[in-house]
Amino acid sequence: MEKYRCIVCGYVYDPEIGDPDYGVSPGTSFRNLPGDWVCPVCGAPQDQFEKI
């Protein structure tokens, strides 16, 4: 699965880890994140992420 980086702060969403603090299970691809998920570091919306 592909990783995505926040272009605002540099946070990398790794689907192998997910985002347990938000309730996103490991194995969740970026495309399958909940619509209201935002960068856990800076709060940027998903459209501020780029595939790396």
- CATH of residue 17's domain is 2.20.28.10
- State the pLDDT at residue 28: 98
Nearest to 32 by CA among 42, 19, 44, 43: 19
9 is in an annotated binding site: yes
Q: What is the pLDDT of residues 1-52, one digit of tens each?
A: 899 999 999 999 999 999 999 999 999 999 999 999 999 999 999 999 999 9
Q: Count of domains in the chain?
A: 1
- State the pLDDT at residue 1: 84
Domain extent, residue 14, equals 2-49
6 is in an annotated binding site: yes
- State the pLDDT at residue 11: 98
- State the pLDDT at residue 45: 98
50 is in an annotated binding site: no
19 is in an annotated binding site: no
Its pTM stands at 0.93
